[in-house]
Amino acid sequence: MTLYDLKPRFQRALMPFVLWLARAGVTPNKVTIAAAVISVAVGLFVAARAETRTVFLLIPLWLLLRMALNAIDGMLAIELDRRTPLGAYLNELGDVVADAALYAPFALVAPFSPLAVAVVIFLAALAELAGALGPMVGSARRYDGPMGKSDRALVFGALGLAIGTGVALPGWAAWIMPLLAALIVLTIVNRIRSGVRTARWHA
C-alpha cells in the first residue's frame, strides 16, 4: 500500500474542475509542462535562498499543488481520451525533472549530505524508469512501493515543513537520506519483479 493507492478518491474530487478545464481548452500536455516548469522555478528559488529557512515552506505547498496537477493531467488524458505519444514522454520526463529540482535544495541543509541527496535524486529517477519500462515487456506501468513518487513527496514535504517552521534537525536526521535511498532501491526491485511477473513478452 502506497499513497498512490489513494489516487482514485483524489481524482473523483477533482473531476468537476477537470471538466471545466477541458471545456476551456486546456490540454494534458499544457498541465504537464506547467507543473515541470514551476517545479524547476520553485527548486531554484528555494536553493538560491536556502539560508532563509522559511523559504522551504514553498516545497510542501507546491508538492501538494503539483500532486493535484499530476492527477489533473492524467484525468484529462485518460478519462477524457486526450492521450498523445508526446504526452507520455512529457509525463515521465517531467516527473523526473521536477523531482530532481525539488529535492536538490535539501543538499544545502545540515545535516544532509549533498552526496546523499544526489544519490536519492538518482535512485528516484531510476525508480520512475523501472516503472515506465513495464509496458515495454507487455506489463502495465508499475507504481509499486514502498517509496514511490507520492511517498517521496510526503517525506520531502514533511522535511520542508519542519525546516521552514524553524525546527532544528538533529544529527541523526542525516540518516533520513540513506534510509530513503534504501527504500527507493527496494521500490526499484519491486517494480522490476512485478513487471517481469506480469510480462507478456512478444519476441
Domains and CATH numbers, the chain: 3-197 (1.20.120.1760)
Q: Per residue in 19-68, pLDDT tens?
A: 898 889 889 999 999 999 999 999 999 999 999 999 999 999 999 999 88
CA dist., res. 105 & res. 46, Å (int): 6
Q: What nine digits make up the cell of 182?
A: 534504501
What's residue 3's pLDDT?
A: 56
Rounded to whole angstroms, how far apart are CA atoms 118 and 120? 5
How far apart are the C-alpha atoms of 57 and 7, rounded to whole Å?
Answer: 24
Contact partners, residue 107, CB within 8 Å, separation at least 6? 113, 114, 117, 118
pLDDT tops 80 at residue 1: no
Q: What is the pTM of this model?
A: 0.89
Q: Where is 79: in which H helix or E strand?
A: none
Q: Tell me the pLDDT tens digit for each residue of 70-79.
A: 889 888 888 8
91-145 residue pLDDT tens:
999 999 999 999 999 999 999 999 999 999 999 999 999 999 998 888 889 999 8
- Mean predicted confidence (pLDDT) in 82-97: 92
Nearest alpha carbon to residue 162 among 111, 99, 116, 120: 111
What's the whole-number mean pLDDT along residues 195-201? 86
Predicted confidence band of residue 203 (pLDDT cuts 50, 70, 90): very low
Give the residue among 98, 93, 110, 126 at the shortest CA–CA distance from 40.
98
pLDDT for 82 equals 86
The CB-side HSE value for 77 (13 A sphere, CA atoms) comes to 20
